[in-house]
């Protein structure tokens, strides 16, 4: 049915979570087995408090993350979504991921709800820098302020522009497809429901069950996203 809905949809919006990135090799922060938060306390290392009180530990942790992202690249699923955007099949991508892989694959219309590791900005004056600064161990702005990744830290609100754009896109969607999100993080997990409430068909693709499965018109578990998107991209008959 999903392939049929894709073909018939006038406004498809994609919502991606950690499962989209793990297929590129990136570790999942919240998985029960290998999640990074099993090793680190987020309130002590990925928060505004850490940035202000434990700046060296904060920088060390995020330099490791920036370097980690550079080791990986978009997978075939990212490129299929970018191609669908060019063809008009997909209108917008809302993502919880901070790796920037959608843009690297060629997607233009992306709302990054939790920011990006591909950019830094000064905590004091707001000046923007490339994440390359961290790679070269440059951690301070010309004004003297600390350079931090342009991501949402614990204790911060979602970026206003990305949030409003995501809301508007969810409202306009007639097909809303979740790819690789447990839908456990608020307020990001409200967008599938917003789309559903405004008449969209809701598809949830995730390795494990989510609390939102009961609202979906179609649920797909235990499937790799890249393989599923290749299948949906083929010219075979609809599922």
DSSP state of 188: G
Please return the burial class of 16, using the count of CB atoms within 10 Å of its CB with bins 0-12, 13-18 and 19+. Answer: buried
Residue positions in the annotated binding site? Answer: 18, 22, 29-30, 96, 98-99, 114, 122, 125, 141, 143, 181-182, 206, 225
Active site residue 114: yes
Cα–Cα distances (Å) from 156 to 47, 88, 104, 113, 159, in that order, read: 8, 34, 26, 12, 9
Residue positions in the annotated binding site for nicotinamide? Answer: 29, 98-99
Which pair of structure tokens corresponds to residue 126?
A: 């707001």
Which pair of structure tokens corresponds to residue 214?
A: 């009961």
Residue positions in the annotated binding site for Zn(2+)? Answer: 122, 125, 141, 143
Residue positions in the annotated binding site for NAD(+)? Answer: 18, 22, 29-30, 96, 98-99, 114, 181-182, 206, 225
- Find out whether 209 and 47 touch, Cβ atoms under 8 Å: no
Pick the catalytic residue from 102, 114, 121, 221. 114
Cα–Cα distances (Å) from 160 to 62, 100, 164, 165, in that order, read: 23, 18, 6, 9
Give the Cα separation of 126 and 149 in Å (integer): 11
Give the Cα separation of 181 and 20 in Å (integer): 8
Handedness of CA 71, 76, 79, 81 (dihedral sign): negative
Q: Quickly list H helices, the chain.
A: 2-8, 18-22, 42-45, 48-53, 55-70, 76-87, 101-105, 132-135, 160-172, 191-197, 225-233
* Catalytic positions: 114
């Amino acid at each position: 049915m999903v392939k049929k809905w894709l073909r018939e949809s006038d406004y498809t919006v994609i919502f991606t979570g950690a499962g989209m990135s793990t297929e590129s090799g990136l570790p999942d922060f919240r998985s029960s087995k290998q999640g990074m938060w099993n090793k680190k306390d987020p309130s002590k290392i990925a928060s505004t408090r850490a940035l202000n009180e434990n700046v060296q530990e904060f920088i060390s942790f995020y330099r490791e993350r920036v370097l980690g992202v550079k080791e990986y690249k978009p997978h075939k699923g990212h490129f299929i979504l970018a191609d669908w955007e060019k063809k008009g099949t997909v209108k917008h991508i809302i993502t919880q991921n901070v790796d920037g892989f959608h843009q690297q694959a060629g997607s233009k219309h992306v709302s990054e709800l939790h920011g990006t590791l591909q950019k830094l900005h000064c905590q004091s004056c707001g000046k923007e820098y490339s994440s390359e600064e961290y790679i070269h161990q440059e951690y301070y702005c010309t004004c003297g302020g600390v350079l931090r990744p342009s991501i949402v830290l614990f204790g911060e609100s979602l970026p206003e522009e990305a949030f409003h754009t995501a809301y508007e896109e969810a409202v306009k969607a007639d097909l809303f497809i979740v790819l690789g999100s447990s839908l456990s993080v608020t307020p990001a997990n409200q967008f599938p429901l917003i789309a559903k409430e405004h008449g969209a068909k809701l598809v949830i693709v995730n390795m494990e069950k989510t609390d939102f499965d009961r609202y979906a018109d179609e649920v797909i578990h235990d499937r790799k996203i890249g393989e599923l998107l290749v299948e949906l991209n083929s010219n075979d008959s609809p599922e």
